[in-house]
Amino acid sequence: MKPGVMPLRGAFVATVAVSLIGGAALARGVPTLALAGYDPIPGPSPWGPDDEAGASNTQTDDKVLEGKRLIKEGKVYRLGHVYEPGMATFPGNQGLSLDAGPMSQIGQQVTNSEVMHGEFGQMGTQFDALGHFGYIPPGSSDPDDALFYNQFTGAEVMTGDGLAHLGVENVKPLVTRGVLLDVKRHANGGETLAWGQEITLSMVMRTLRAQKMDARDIGVGDVVLIFTGWEENWELGTEGFYTQPGVGMAQPGIGLEVAKWLSSKGIACVGSDNFGIEVTPPKPPVAPGVVFPVHHHLLVKSGIFMQEAMVLSELAADLAAELEDRPHGHKSPYEFFYVYSPLPLRGASGSPGIPLAIR
């Protein structure tokens, strides 16, 4: 532990739980969230100084039952891409390869196996654990001084054998109520959002209204999925989905404004059909060195997980069709049972895996 950090982690300050209970104050209209003077230093966890599970602590028996009650048809949606050699990968990622293992014959039976290589935790449809991002405070350039979720330091978290703390194995399964925000359809005229286009809080509120919902329909422990249409670029490969010629990494997505609002609602996870949830190229830093403020605010400051490169188009189309068919005054169809458990890869910063929506 670095000098001056232990008092922060050791002192449990109950008021940081405002990120879980502040939603009630924002339920009326479009809230105005101040971005000036943003403090990037993470506070202690509302679940105690040893907490490494973050917002997955919201996954209670009641959330399971709440989600289960949303199953009306029994239709299951696989919300992720197929993992295969040659698929789009984050720039610099070594990609995925699969080699057939030796075929074995046992009597009249044959068995097959395979050997896989790749950065599995950070490719394709993938889930960011809390150890994925940290923040080096001003005055230092030493990664050991970085602050992670719950004020774990870089010296505590990062080792040559993976993450000693905040690895994906600490995440509790997400079995809960899911909500889809179809921003493409309801706030962008049905057009896929352009790279560099920020999803504003006004757009989120417009989407909720069009879906017969309001801010009160996003609650503690929910998973919120954002459909931008960017999924359609997956088959273009790395250049097309992750990067644009002459620009580098580029995608539509939310900014700090929406990230702060979502964290105020106490949700468990944010997912999207783009590669990294947040608008890219990034906007000017809101604090020194915070190049990717959404990752910082959700993972480091709020303990909220991120599910990236999802497949949401089928779910979005079916929910839109049901919205058209529902008589006026009926409840919104844009909620469903959501199930995902990351692979418990000890020390990993993320996990592959396909979330499920069940209606």
Q: Which domain holds residue 11?
A: 6-84+122-358
Sort residue 11 into left (φ over 0), alpha (ψ -120 to 50) or beta. beta
Q: H/E element holding 255?
A: none
DSSP sequence for 267-287: -SEEEESSSSSB-BSPPSPSS
Q: What is the pTM of this model?
A: 0.90
Structure tokens at 236: 């273009």
Single out the residue of 203, 181, 178, 183 nearest to residue 193, CA to CA: 183
Residue 96 lies in a domain: no
Predicted pLDDT at 93: 87
Give the angle subtended at the CA of 191 by the CAs of 197 and 253, to the nearest 5°.
30
Q: How far is CA 138 from CA 2, 3, 41, 144, 277, in A?
A: 15, 15, 10, 13, 26
Residue 105 lies in a domain: no
Predicted pLDDT at 121: 84
Q: H/E element holding 229?
A: none
The long-range contacts involving 231-234, CB below 8 angstroms and separated by at least 24 positions, are 231/273, 231/274, 231/310, 231/311, 231/312, 231/313, 232/192, 232/313, 234/81, 234/88, 234/309
Segment 326-351, tens digit of pLDDT? 877 678 999 999 999 999 999 999 99
Predicted pLDDT at 94: 85
Answer yes or no: are the C-beta atoms of 242 and 89 closer than 8 Å.
yes
Residue 55 lies in a domain: yes
Listed in order, strand segments (DSSP E) in the chain are: 76-78, 97-100, 104-106, 109-111, 114-117, 126-128, 158-159, 162-163, 174-182, 198-199, 223-227, 243-244, 248-249, 253-254, 269-272, 305-308, 335-340, 350-352, 356-358
Residue 107 lies in a domain: no
Residue 131 lies in a domain: yes
- Sorted by sequence, the CB contacts under 8 Å of residue 142 that are 6+ apart come out as 136, 154
CB atoms near residue 11 (< 10 Å): 11
Residue 100 lies in a domain: no
Distance of CA 312 to the CA centre of its chain: 14
CA 220, CA 225: separation in Å to the nearest integer? Answer: 15
Q: H/E element holding 156?
A: helix 154-157
Structure tokens at 182: 């179809």
* Domains in the chain, number: 1
Structure letter (DSSP) for residue 85? T
Residue 94 lies in a domain: no
Residue 213 lies in a domain: yes
Domain holding 312: CATH number? 3.50.30.50
The single residue listed with the structure tokens 């490169």 is 309
Count the residues in the chain. 359
Predicted pLDDT at 30: 52
Q: Which residues of the chain have pLDDT under 50?
A: 1-29
CB atoms near residue 36 (< 10 Å): 5
